[in-house]
Amino acid sequence: MIPHKQHLNTNTDQNRWQSIKDRLRFELGEDVFSSWFGRMEFETVDSGAVRLSVPTRFLRKWIQSHYAERVLAQWQREDPTIMRLELNVRSAVMRPPLPKPKLVAPAAPGREPCQLAPINGEARREPLTSAHDALGGSPLDPRLSFETFIVGRSNTLAHAAAKQIALGRCGDPLMFNPLYLHASVGLGKTHLLQAITWAGNGGDRKVLYLTAERFMYSFVSALKTQTTLAFKEALRAIDVLVIDDLQFLQGRSTQHEFCHTINALIDAGRQVVIASDRPPADLESLDDRVRSRLAGGLVVEIGPLTEELRLEILKCRVASACLHHPGFEVPAPVLVFIAKSVTHNGRDLEGAVNRLLAHNKLTGQSVTL
């Protein structure tokens, strides 16, 4: 039997992928192409399968449901030996599963206690009987609550503003609207937004958390099913609308609808909370009126993690891992060394703890400096 031919990631394959993208852009239009294919990347062609990747599970699911056959047909036009399409999600992170019991670790002076929730994605909080579930909100991570958020100089204002909104009740006057948080990746924006949603769903308000991608998906689905009026009415009935990763909002019609939704909610005295990786003035794809409205509330930048804050985060991550792996220990000098060396963001700190855990469990060797 002659083995299947395996292609490396060659210039020829990249050229084919570029040609396919050009045809998809022409067939679907710039708005649709940018929304669903702008961050799709070519990986390999191997044994009759072409492998592409996207950054989120949501994008993979949507493309598989609506565009997989079209993309495969385009590849077969370039290479008739292609028989199937494999779509992967990039940047999977190893997360050690933990049991449900919580642990309250000692808090440093002036800090909130580090109350550790389960890390296992399967371990969920009580099912939400709220607007978030009823309206198909984006998935919530049970770990991302106010109890697990470590407060430091760089995020004090953002934390206080988010907590103030989370504790509000129907009819309370709004101190600032919208609340707009911006920061680089891994500094706590999503943590605070989901914490607001977790806390708010226990009260008397309808709280909905959506990523920008989910907002696009819901709006496009409403257009296809001719239920846009119901979509608009449902959003405008929300008491607290929380939008994450606004920088990914694509498409002229989607941005137009987003603008109307934000204006309607703010004019009706309903709370809006938004997070992005840049300030409103730098969101060049959005209409000037939207940027002006976003800048008219409270705009808070979450700064880089200080060394002290990085050390506290590491202590909490290790304590969390120890719940499921009792023999896992990280000496204090190692934590201090990592806090000094890993300076970018919280995800890198979590990755460092994951690597120590893997080293300890897979090799049986203790963690040392």
Q: Above 50 in pLDDT, residue 315?
A: yes
pLDDT at 131: 60
pLDDT digits (tens, 9 = 90+) for 272-312: 999 999 999 888 778 788 888 889 899 999 999 989 999 99
Lowest mean pLDDT among 75-84, 99-108, 128-137, 152-161: 99-108
Query: What residue has token string 């072409």?
Result: 50
pLDDT band at 103 (very low <50, low <70, confident <90, very high): very low
Peptide linkage before 304 cis (omega within 30 of 0): no
What span, in angstroms and rounded, lies between the C-alpha atoms of 310 and 329?
A: 18
Q: Above 70 in pLDDT, residue 106?
A: no
pLDDT digits (tens, 9 = 90+) for 116-146: 333 333 333 444 445 676 667 888 888 888 9
Output 364 or 4, whichever has higher pLDDT. Answer: 364
User: Angle at which helices 346-363 and 332-341 pack, to 10 degrees?
Assistant: 140
User: Looking at 297-347, which runs of residues are DSSP E strands?
Assistant: 298-301
Q: Above 80 in pLDDT, residue 331?
A: yes
pLDDT band at 11 (very low <50, low <70, confident <90, very high): low
pLDDT at 245: 93
Output 345 or 196, whichever has higher pLDDT. Answer: 196
pLDDT at 364: 87
For residue 143, give Cα distances in angstroms to 16, 83, 191, 265, 363.
Answer: 42, 41, 9, 29, 28
pLDDT at 128: 44
**What order of strands is seen across the sheet that includes strand 298-301?**
207-211, 240-244, 271-276, 179-182, 298-301
pLDDT at 130: 53
